Amino acid sequence: MRLKTILTHPRLKLLLALSRTPHGIIDLATPALAALLCLGHFPSLPILLLGLLTVFAGYTAVYALNDLVDYRTDKEKGPPWRL
C-alpha cells in the first residue's frame, strides 16, 4: 500500500477525528513533561513509549465516550455552521 492511500483511508480519518488529534498532541506531551519534572530526566525509551501508548488509548477512549454521551445534544443543535 502506498503512504498516500493509507493517510487518506476513510477509517483513519474517522479515528483521527474521533481522537481529536490536535488536542491529542498536547495530551500526549503532558505526562512526558510531568515525568521530566518529577524525575529530572525523561524515563527510559520503553517506559516512555508504553506511557505514550497508554495516554493515547486513554484520551481516545475519553473523547469517544464524550462523543457518544453528547450525541443527542449535538444532533439537537444541528450542524455547527447553522446559527
pLDDT level of residue 2 (50, 70, 90 thresholds): confident
Give the pLDDT confidence score for residue 31 in this predicted structure: 86
3 belongs to a structural domain: no
47 belongs to a structural domain: yes
Domains identified in the chain, total number: 1
Q: Is 64 exposed, middle or buried (0-12, 13-18, 19+ CB in 10 A)?
A: middle
37 belongs to a structural domain: yes
Give the pLDDT confidence score for residue 23 in this predicted structure: 73
78 Rama class: left (phi>0) / alpha (psi -120 to 50) / beta: left
Give the tens place of pLDDT for each residue, 9-41: 777 777 666 666 677 778 888 888 898 999 999
Short-list 66, 54, 61, CA closest to 30 = 54
Average pLDDT over residues 60-65: 84
Q: Which residues have C-beta within 8 Å of that of residue 30, sequence separation ≥ 6?
A: 55
Q: Residue 59's Cα: distance from chain center in Å?
A: 6
pLDDT level of residue 83 (50, 70, 90 thresholds): very low
Domain residues for the domain of 33 are 27-77
11 belongs to a structural domain: no
